[in-house]
Structure 1
Amino acid sequence: MSEVPMIAIVDDDESVRVATSSLVRSFGFKTTVFASAEDFLASPTMPRTACLVTDVQMPTMSGIELFEALRARGVALPVIFITSFPEERVKRRAQEAGAAGFLAKPFDADTMMGCVFEALKGQPLPR
């Protein structure tokens, strides 16, 4: 039996972390949540993460900076960005770097999960 993919959620807003984690778990995935990009980068679960959902605007390291830090380390993890401030310039930067998705908060559950399933194409999925 294949391992259920782990989805990491990084957002400085606890209510967003809890709601997004609950949504993703309802589709049969495992989740792990982090309040900051730095916490995720330091986590022992980071190497087992199949997909990352991250806020763009966070206090010390933005989601875009997290994405760039992962790429600099050679980590080709699919990343879905979520943001309350969907600026076209930031969206373009994320998409050009290879983001798996860019969603404005509040996002639709079906849209989020569509991004997750698309990001995980070719990997074993739950159920």
Structure 2
Amino acid sequence: MKDKRLLISVVDDDQSICESLPDLLREFGFAAKAFSAGEEFLASDELAQTSCLILDVAMPGMTGLDLQNELAIRQQRIPIIFITAQRDEAIRPRLLKLGAVECLLKPFNEPDLLEAINLAFQGNH
């Protein structure tokens, strides 16, 4: 990849997220690539270049948690920001305990997303 900017990959089965979020990330100054499924991301060349992963919790087939587990098995240490439409109060603490940088509820706002990305790149996780 010739782009020297940090790559943020987005994995979400929601077509509108896959179309809009990479554009926003590019506006923030990052390189961005979207995938509609965890399996697609794992099979991609971008896996090794990804500096941060924005990952939907609930997807058909491989869920966000399944992908997080698979990355751990492969020893791919990529900071993960989960996004979810689920209004379950217990999910955020659980995801953070499992090593996620942040868990944002959809629809999230730009400042919250940028703050989570900055946290991911601080390397505290």
Instruction: Provide TM-score, normalisation by structure 2.
Output: 0.91
Identity of aligned residues (%): 36
Quote the residue 2:94 is aligned against. Answer: 93
Quote the residue 2:15 is aligned against. Answer: 14
Deviation string for 1:33-80 (max 9, x for gaps)?
A: 100000001111100000000110100011111111101111110000
Quote the residue 1:33 is aligned against. Answer: 34
Distance 2:35 2:116 in 1: 20
Structure 1 unaligned blocks of 5 or more: 123-127
* RMSD of aligned residue pairs (Cα, Å): 1.4
Distance 2:23 2:108 in 1: 14
Report deviation, 1:3.
2.6
Structure 2 unaligned blocks of 5 or more: none
Report deviation, 1:93.
2.3
Written as runs of structure 1 = structure 2, the 5 A alignment for 1:69-108 is 69-108=70-109
Distance 1:76 1:93 in 2: 19
Distance 2:61 2:93 in 1: 22
Report deviation, 1:16.
0.9
Aligned pair count reads: 121
Distance 1:104 1:77 in 2: 20
Runs of 4+ in 1 over 3 A off after TM superposition: none
Distance 1:15 1:109 in 2: 16
Report deviation, 1:103.
0.3
Quote the residue 1:45 is aligned against. Answer: 46
Mean CA deviation greater in 101-110 or 2-11:
2-11
